[in-house]
Amino acid sequence: MPGDRSERYLKYEMPQEPKDPNADILTVQETAWILKCSVKTARRRIAALDIKRKPGRRVVTTKADRQLLLDDSLVQPAKNTPRRGRQGLGRMPLGPLAA
């Protein structure tokens, strides 16, 4: 059922613009729109901050939760930093340059 999966993706995994961005409670999809990130990233940030939710219920965020998420997103290091190259065996580090 490939059609079923794409419909679910469009419904739950795409950020949605909220009707009222200053509402007390917003869904994860609306929160992702405000944070300007993917829904998956919003869910990861919610889990990392230990924002509580009831089992079996839809995940929602309050104004205070969103403020925490915004503050946290500003201080997180970039994930796409380049890796250091492999260091060859037996190479000595360069000393200070002689003038």
Task: Please check whether residue 20 lies inside any domain of the structure.
Answer: yes
Residue 66 lies in a domain: yes
Measured CA to CA, the distance from residue 24 to residue 70 in angstroms comes to 16
Q: Which domain holds residue 22?
A: 2-75
Residue 43 belongs to a domain: yes
Listed residue (36, 46, 39, 45) closest to 10, CA to CA = 39
pTM for the whole thing? 0.64
Q: Is there a domain that residue 26 lies in?
A: yes
pLDDT recorded at residue 70: 84
Q: Is residue 22 part of a domain?
A: yes
Q: Residues 33, 60: contact at Cβ < 8 Å? A: no
CATH at residue 36: 1.10.1660
96 in a structural domain: no
3-33 pLDDT, tens digit each: 566 776 677 788 889 999 889 999 999 999 9
Q: What is the pLDDT of residues 44-94, one digit of tens each?
A: 888 888 877 777 788 888 999 888 888 876 655 556 656 665 555 556 666
**8 Å CB contact between 25 and 60:** yes
The number of domains in the chain is 1
On whether residue 49 sits in a domain, the answer given is: yes
User: Cα dist. 8→1, 12, 74, 85 in Å?
Assistant: 11, 6, 30, 41
